[in-house]
C-alpha cells in the first residue's frame, strides 16, 4: 500500500481530487462571471498588453499616463448632473487629438453609457465602423485626459478591460478560463468515475451470471457482448444523448450501458476457471449453497480484476464524455473540458488564435487519462506479476 | 467444411445486423415525448396532427410499425428528413464516399506505419525505436483525437496556413478532374494525418508484442540455423505467423474507426455521414439520425464480415475451429 501511495500518478490523482473539491470554494465568484474582455490573453503572456484597468472620475475629470498597447474595450458609464441651461461636453483627450464623446443639454441629470464597440457611438466620433473602437481612442503612449465641461457633479466609471486577464486568459464571453478549467475537473471526475463504477457493477453481474449459470444465459450474454462490441459506440452515444437529454446523470447512464462488456468478459473467464477449481468442488461437497459460494468466494475472487478494470475504464469514459461534450451534445450550463473545447471551436477561438482556450482543457483530459492508466497498470502488475514492467517483456 | 464456416459467419453478421435494427427501432420509439413533436406545433388542429402522424405511419400498432420500419431499412427507403425535407438516402449517398475515403485511407496509413514500426521495434529490443513504440502506444490511447486535431488545425491551418481550415472541397470547387481530385486530397490530408497519428501507436504496440513472441519461437531459431537471410526469417517466417491476429485487430478496429471518423468530420467540417448524424441529432431530426446510425453500423458489420472472410483464408486453423462450433 505504501508503494502505491508513493507512485507519482497517485500523488497527482490526490492533488487533482483536492483541486476539484476545494478550487470552487477558493476561487472568487461564479465561473460564469465575466471578468474581462473576450479572448483576453493570460496575464503572464505579453506584458505590453494592458491588464484590466478601471478609473473613477468625478466632476474634476481624470488624467493618467498610458504606456501599454490599447485596451480591447472602452466603456464609460455613470451619472452626471449639471445646470439644465448649460451644455455638457465629455471630452477624451489623447496625446494626438481630442474626441468629444458626448454633448448633452436640457436636463439636470444624465446617465452615460458609452461603449466603443457601439456602432452609433463609433459613427458619431467618426471612427471606422469595423474593428476595435478602443484602439482608435488610444492612438499612442502618453498622457490621457477625460475632461468634463460644464458639470456640477459626476460619478463616472471608465472601464478598460485589457488584453490580458487571469492565469489563463478569458474565453469568448470574457469568463475566466482558469476558473472554468478548475470546475471542469469535477465534471470529468464525476462522469468518468461514476460511469465506470456502474459499468463495472453491470459487467460483474453479467460476467458472474454468464460464467456461473452457464447454458443459455451464458450464450445470450456473450452474444450481447459481441453485438455491442461490434457496433460503433460514438454514433449510438450521440443518438442517445440527443434523445435522452444532455444532463450529467443521463450522460453517466448512457456511457455506462455501453462500457460493461470488457469487464463482463474478464469476470466470466475468471469465474469459469475458478468454478472448476478443487476448493469450489469441496465447498459443493460440503453442501454450501450456490449463493454462498457466489458471494463469499467468487465475488471476492474478482476484486483485483475489478479494481484494475475500474482504473483502466475511467480514461475511456472521460474521453467519451469529452467527445460528446465537444460535439455539443452536453448541457450548455454544465462546465466541462469537452464543452470548453466545443465553445473554443464554435465561437472563433481559431480566428483569434486563442491557444489558451484550447491547450488547458485538452491537456487536462490527457493528464487525467494518463493518471488513471498508470494507476490501472500498476494494479494490473500487482495482480499478474508475469506482466512485468514496461520494456522488459 | 468451409461452406459451413461461411454460413456461420453470414448468420453471425445477420444476427448483429438484426440486433442493430431492433436497437435502432427501440431507441426512437421508447424516447420520452412524441417522435414528431419537433415538426408538430402544439397549436395544430387535432386533424392536422392526426394527418401528420398518419404520414409518418405513427398511428399504426407498434408491431406493424416495426415491420414497415424493417422493410424501409432493408430497402434504404429512409423517407424524408424533418429538417431539409429532402430524401435522407440521397443525402447520405452523397456523403458516403467522403466518409469511406477518410476511413479507408487512415486505416491503411496507420496500419502500414504501425506494422512497420512494430516489426522494427521487435527487432531492435531496448533501442530508441522500441521505446518510441511503447510510449506512442500508451500515449495515443489517452489523447482525445479531437484535441490533437484542433491543435493540428491551429498549427497547420492558422499559424502556418498550409491546409484548409474546414470543408471537403474549396468553395467554389475548382474545375477539371485532376485539380478537383487534388483539392479533395488537400482537404483530406490533415484529417487523415491526424487519424494516422492517433492510430499507429496501438498497431505498433500490438504488432511489436506479437512479433517479439513469434521471434522467440523454435521455428525462427531453426530458420536462422538453416542460414536463411534475416529478412527472409523475419518476413517469410515470423511475420507470416502473426498475420491472422493482425487481421483480427483490423476487424476489431473498425467500430473505433467509425467513431473516429464521425468526430473527425465534425472537427474539420467534412461532408460526410458523421456530420450528417451530428446535424440530425442536434436538430432533433430522428428519422435522419436513425438512418445515419444504421448506415454506420451497417458499414461496421459489412467490414467485419469481410475481415472474417480474409481471416479464414489466411489462417487454416479457423476452419477447424468453425467446424467444432
pLDDT, tens digit (0-9, with 9 covering 90-100), for B214-266: 888 888 888 888 888 888 888 888 888 888 888 878 877 888 888 889 999 99
User: CB under 8 Å to A324, separation ≥6 — which residues?
Assistant: A237, A238, A241, A251, A330, A338
Residue-wise DSSP of A291-326: HHIIIIIIHHHHHHHHHHHHHHHHHHHHHHHHHHHH
3-class DSSP state for residue A148? strand
Chain B residue with minimum CA distance to A230: B255
Chain B residues lying within 8 Å of A359, measured CB to CB: 151
Chain A residue with minimum CA distance to B20: A231
Would you state the cell numbers that stand for residue A284, as one nine-digit string?
459443493
Chain B residues lying within 8 Å of A247, measured CB to CB: none
Q: A78 - beta bridge partners?
A: A112, A156
Distance (Å, whole) CA B320 – CA B8:
13
Q: Which of A230, A234, A319 sits opposite B304 (nearest CB)?
A: A230
> Are B31 and A353 a contacting pair at CB < 8 A?
no
> Are B15 and A355 a contacting pair at CB < 8 A?
no
Distance (Å, whole) CA B284 – CA B297:
20
- Of the candidates A320, A315, A319, A322, the residue with the CA atom closest to the CA atom of residue A374: A315
Sheet holding A87-93, edge to edge: A62-66, A142-149, A87-93, A98-105
Q: Which of A227, A315, A341 sits opposite B19 (nearest CB)?
A: A227
CATH architecture of the domain covering B88-314: Orthogonal Bundle (1.10)
R_g (Cα) of chain A, nearest Å:
31
> What pLDDT is attached to residue A201?
94
Average pLDDT in chain A: 84
Q: Are B258 and B154 in contact, with CB atoms under 8 Å apart?
A: no
Chain B residues lying within 8 Å of A232, measured CB to CB: 254-256, 258-259, 262, 296-297, 300
> What pLDDT is attached to residue B287?
77
Give how far B99 is from chain A: nearest CA, Å.
14
| b/e code B271-280 from CB counts within 10 Å (16+ = b) | bbbbbbbbbb
pLDDT(B30) > 70: no
Place of cell 430524401: B87
Considering only residues B152 and B80, tell me which one the structure prediction assigns the higher pLDDT.
B152
Chain B residue with minimum CA distance to A321: B144
Chain A residue with minimum CA distance to B133: A391
Give how far B177 is from chain A: nearest CA, Å.
32
Q: Name the most confidently modeled range: A177-186, A270-279, B132-141.
A: A177-186
pLDDT(B203) > 70: yes
pLDDT(A287) > 60: yes
Q: Are A362 and A325 in contact, with CB atoms under 8 Å apart?
A: no
Q: Which of B255, B259, B284 sits opposite A242 (nearest CB)?
A: B284
> Are A243 and B131 a contacting pair at CB < 8 A?
no
**Which one of B136, B281, B302 would you mutate to disrupt binding with A, by most A Cβ within 10 Å of its Cβ?**
B281
Chain B residues lying within 8 Å of A238, measured CB to CB: 262, 277-278, 281, 289
Average pLDDT over residues A245-264: 88
DSSP-derived pairing of the beta strands A98-105 and A62-66: unpaired
Domain residue extents for chain B: 88-314
In degrees and rounded to multiples of 5, residue A61 shows phi and psi of 90, -165
Chain A residues lying within 8 Å of B252, measured CB to CB: 229
> Are B150 and A362 a contacting pair at CB < 8 A?
yes
What percentage of chain A carries pLDDT values higher than 70? 96
DSSP state of B84: T
- A229 and chain B in contact, CB less than 8 A: yes
> Are A323 and B27 a contacting pair at CB < 8 A?
no
- Of the candidates B174, B219, B198, the residue with the CA atom closest to the CA atom of residue B113: B198
Give how far A164 is from chain B: nearest CA, Å.
21
pLDDT(A334) > 70: yes
> What pLDDT is attached to residue B34?
56
Chain B residue with minimum CA distance to A390: B134
Give how far A227 is from chain B: nearest CA, Å.
5
Residue-wise DSSP of A361-372: HHHHHHHHHHHH
The residue length of chain A stands at 393
Chain B residues lying within 8 Å of A241, measured CB to CB: 281
> What pLDDT is attached to residue A388?
45
Cα dist. A2→A10, A14, A282, A371 in Å?
Answer: 11, 14, 36, 18
Would you state the cell numbers that stand for residue B69, as one nine-digit string?
420500419
> What pLDDT is attached to residue B323?
44
Sheet holding A75-81, edge to edge: A53-57, A153-160, A75-81, A109-115
Q: Are A66 and A55 in contact, with CB atoms under 8 Å apart?
A: no
Confidence of residue A386 (pLDDT cuts 50, 70, 90): low
- For chain B, the first-to-last Cα distance in angstroms comes to 12
Give how far A282 is from chain B: nearest CA, Å.
32
pLDDT digit string (tens) for B93-149?
A: 899 999 999 999 999 999 999 999 999 999 888 888 888 888 887 777 778 889 999
Q: Which of A241, A358, A391 sits opposite B154 (nearest CB)?
A: A358
User: CB under 8 Å to A32, separation ≥6 — which residues?
Assistant: A175
Q: Are A88 and A82 in contact, with CB atoms under 8 Å apart?
A: yes
Give how far B56 is from chain A: nearest CA, Å.
18
Long-range contacts of residues A219-225, Cβ cutoff 8 Å, at least 24 apart = A221/A264, A221/A268, A222/A265, A222/A268, A223/B15, A224/B19, A225/A261, A225/A264, A225/A265
- Of the candidates B314, B321, B324, B323, the residue with the CA atom closest to the CA atom of residue B248: B314
> Are A373 and B141 a contacting pair at CB < 8 A?
yes
> Are A365 and B144 a contacting pair at CB < 8 A?
yes
Chain A residues lying within 8 Å of B300, measured CB to CB: 230-232
Chain A residues lying within 8 Å of B282, measured CB to CB: 242, 328-329
> Are B142 and A362 a contacting pair at CB < 8 A?
no
What value, to the nearest 5°, has the Cα angle with vertex A23 and ends A199 and A174?
Answer: 100
Considering only residues A169 and B149, tell me which one the structure prediction assigns the higher pLDDT.
B149
Chain B residues lying within 8 Å of A381, measured CB to CB: none
Average pLDDT over residues B3-28: 83
- A346 and chain B in contact, CB less than 8 A: no
Chain A residues lying within 8 Å of B209, measured CB to CB: 393
Distance (Å, whole) CA B313 – CA B307:
10
Would you state the cell numbers that stand for residue A391, as one nine-digit string?
520494456
Confidence of residue B316 (pLDDT cuts 50, 70, 90): low
Chain A residues lying within 8 Å of B125, measured CB to CB: 391
Helix (DSSP H) and strand (DSSP E) numbers for chain A: 15, 8
> Are A327 and B130 a contacting pair at CB < 8 A?
no
Residues 233-292 of A with CB under 8 A from B: 233-236, 238-244
- A126 and chain B in contact, CB less than 8 A: no
Distance (Å, whole) CA A239 – CA B24:
10
- A358 and chain B in contact, CB less than 8 A: yes
3-class DSSP state for residue A98? strand
Confidence of residue B41 (pLDDT cuts 50, 70, 90): low
Average pLDDT over residues A58-64: 82
Q: Are B195 and B106 in contact, with CB atoms under 8 Å apart?
A: yes
Q: pTM of the full predicted structure?
A: 0.82
Cα dist. A16→A212, A268, A371, B52, B199 in Å?
Answer: 39, 34, 10, 53, 29
User: CB under 8 Å to A267, separation ≥6 — which residues?
Assistant: A203, A204, A206, A207, A208, A211, A302, A305, A306
Distance (Å, whole) CA B87 – CA B107:
31
Which helix (H) or strand (E) element contains residue B87? none
**Which one of B130, B146, B151 would you mutate to disrupt binding with A, by most A Cβ within 10 Å of its Cβ?**
B146
Q: Which of A230, A234, A362 sits opposite B259 (nearest CB)?
A: A234
**Which one of A234, A246, A265 would you mutate to disrupt binding with B, by most B Cβ within 10 Å of its Cβ?**
A234
Distance (Å, whole) CA A173 – CA B129:
46
> Are A238 and B277 a contacting pair at CB < 8 A?
yes
Torsion of Cα atoms, B150 then B155 then B159 then B161, to 10°? -90
Amino acid at each position: 500500500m505504501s508503494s502505491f501511495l508513493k507512485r507519482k500518478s497517485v500523488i497527482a490523482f490526490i492533488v487533482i481530487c483536492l483541486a476539484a473539491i476545494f478550487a470552487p470554494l477558493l476561487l472568487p465568484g461564479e465561473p460564469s462571471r465575466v471578468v474581462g474582455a473576450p479572448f483576453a490573453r493570460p496575464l503572464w503572456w505579453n506584458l505590453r498588453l494592458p491588464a484590466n484597468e478601471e478609473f473613477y472620475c468625478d466632476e474634476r475629470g481624470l488624467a493618467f499616463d498610458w504606456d501599454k498597447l490599447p485596451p480591447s474595450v472602452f466603456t464609460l458609464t455613470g451619472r452626471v448632473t449639471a445646470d439644465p441651461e448649460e451644455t455638457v461636453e465629455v471630452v477624451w483627450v489623447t496625446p494626438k487629438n481630442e474626441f468629444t464623446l458626448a454633448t448633452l443639454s436640457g436636463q439636470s441629470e444624465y446617465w452615460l453609457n458609452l461603449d466603443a464597440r457601439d456602432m452609433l457611438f463609433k459613427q458619431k466620433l467618426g471612427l471606422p465602423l469595423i474593428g476595435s473602437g478602443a484602439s482608435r481612442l488610444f492612438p499612442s503612449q502618453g498622457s490621457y485626459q477625460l475632461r468634463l465641461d460644464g458639470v456640477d457633479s459626476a460619478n463616472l466609471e471608465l472601464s478598460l478591460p485589457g488584453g490580458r486577464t487571469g492565469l489563463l486568459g478569458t474565453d469568448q464571453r470574457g469568463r475566466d478560463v482558469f476558473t472554468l478549467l478548475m470546475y471542469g475537473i469535477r465534471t470529468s471526475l464525476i462522469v468518468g468515475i461514476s460511469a465506470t463504477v456502474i459499468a463495472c457493477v453491470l459487467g460483474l453481474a453479467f460476467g458472474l451470471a454468464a460464467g456461473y449459470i452457464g447454458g443459455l444465459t451464458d450464450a445470450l450474454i456473450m452474444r450481447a457482448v459481441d453485438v455491442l462490441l461490434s457496433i460503433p459506440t460514438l454514433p449510438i452515444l450521440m443518438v442517445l444523448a440527443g434523445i435522452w437529454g444532455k444532463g450529467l446523470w443521463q450522460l453517466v447512464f448512457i456511457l455506462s450501458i455501453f462500457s460493461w462488456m470488457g469487464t463482463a468478459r474478464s469476470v466470466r473467464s475468471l469465474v469459469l476457471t475458478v468454478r472448476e477449481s478443487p476448493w469450489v468442488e469441496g465447498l459443493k461437497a460440503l453442501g454450501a449453497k450456490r449463493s454462498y459460494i457466489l458471494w463469499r468466494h467468487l465475488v471476492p475472487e474478482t476484486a483485483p480484476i475489478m479494481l484494475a478494470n475500474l482504473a483502466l475504464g475511467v480514461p475511456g469514459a472521460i474521453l467519451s464524455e469529452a467527445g460528446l461534450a465537444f460535439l455539443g451534445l452536453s448541457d450548455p450550463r454544465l462546465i466541462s473540458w469537452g464543452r470548453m473545447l466545443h465553445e473554443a471551436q464554435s465561437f472563433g477561438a481559431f480566428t483569434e488564435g486563442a491557444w489558451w482556450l484550447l491547450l488547458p482543457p485538452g491537456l487536462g483530459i490527457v493528464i487525467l487519462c494518463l493518471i488513471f492508466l498508470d494507476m490501472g497498470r500498476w494494479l494490473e502488475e500487482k495482480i499478474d506479476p508475469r506482466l512485468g514492467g514496461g520494456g522488459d517483456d | 467444411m468451409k461452406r459451413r464456416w461461411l454460413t456461420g459467419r453470414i448468420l453471425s453478421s445477420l444476427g448483429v445486423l438484426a440486433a442493430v435494427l431492433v436497437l435502432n427501432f427501440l431507441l426512437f420509439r421508447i424516447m420520452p415525448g412524441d417522435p414528431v413533436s419537433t415538426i408538430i406545433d402544439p397549436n395544430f388542429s387535432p386533424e392536422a396532427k392526426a394527418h401528420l402522424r398518419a404520414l409518418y405511419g405513427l398511428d399504426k400498432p407498434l408491431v406493424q410499425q416495426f415491420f414497415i420500419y424493417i422493410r424501409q431499412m432493408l430497402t434504404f427507403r429512409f423517407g424524408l428528413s424533418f429538417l431539409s425535407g429532402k430524401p435522407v438516402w440521397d443525402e447520405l449517398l452523397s456523403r458516403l464516399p467522403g466518409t469511406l475515403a477518410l476511413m479507408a485511407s487512415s486505416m491503411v496509413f496507420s496500419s502500414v506505419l504501425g506494422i512497420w514500426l512494430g516489426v522494427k521495434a521487435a527487432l531492435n529490443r531496448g533501442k530508441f525505436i522500441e521505446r518510441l513504440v511503447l510510449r506512442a502506444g500508451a500515449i495515443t490511447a489517452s489523447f482525445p483525437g479531437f484535441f490533437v486535431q484542433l491543435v493540428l488545425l491551429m498549427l497547420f491551418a492558422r499559424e502556418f496556413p498550409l491546409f484548409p481550415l474546414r470543408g471537403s472541397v474549396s468553395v467554389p470547387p475548382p474545375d477539371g478532374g485532376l485539380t478537383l481530385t487534388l483539392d479533395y486530397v488537400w482537404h483530406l490530408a490533415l484529417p487523415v494525418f491526424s487519424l494516422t497519428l492517433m492510430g499507429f501507436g496501438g498497431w505498433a504496440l500490438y504488432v511489436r508484442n506479437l512479433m517479439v513472441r513469434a521471434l522467440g519461437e523454435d521455428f525462427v531459431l531453426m530458420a536462422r540455423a538453416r542460414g536463411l537471410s534475416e529478412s527472409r526469417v523475419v518476413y517469410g517466417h515470423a511475420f507470416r505467423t502473426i498475420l491472422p491476429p493482425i487481421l483480427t485487430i483490423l476487424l476489431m478496429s473498425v467500430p473505433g474507426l467509425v467513431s473516429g471518423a464521425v468526430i473527425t468530420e465534425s472537427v474539420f467540417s467534412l461532408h460526410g455521414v458523421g456530420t450528417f448524424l451530428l446535424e440530425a441529432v442536434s436538430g432533433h431530426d430522428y428519422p435522419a439520425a436513425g438512418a445515419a446510425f444504421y448506415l454506420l453500423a451497417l458499414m461496421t458489420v459489412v467490414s467485419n464480415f469481410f475481415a472474417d472472410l480474409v481471416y479464414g483464408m489466411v489462417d487454416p486453423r479457423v476452419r477447424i475451429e468453425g467446424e467444432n462450433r
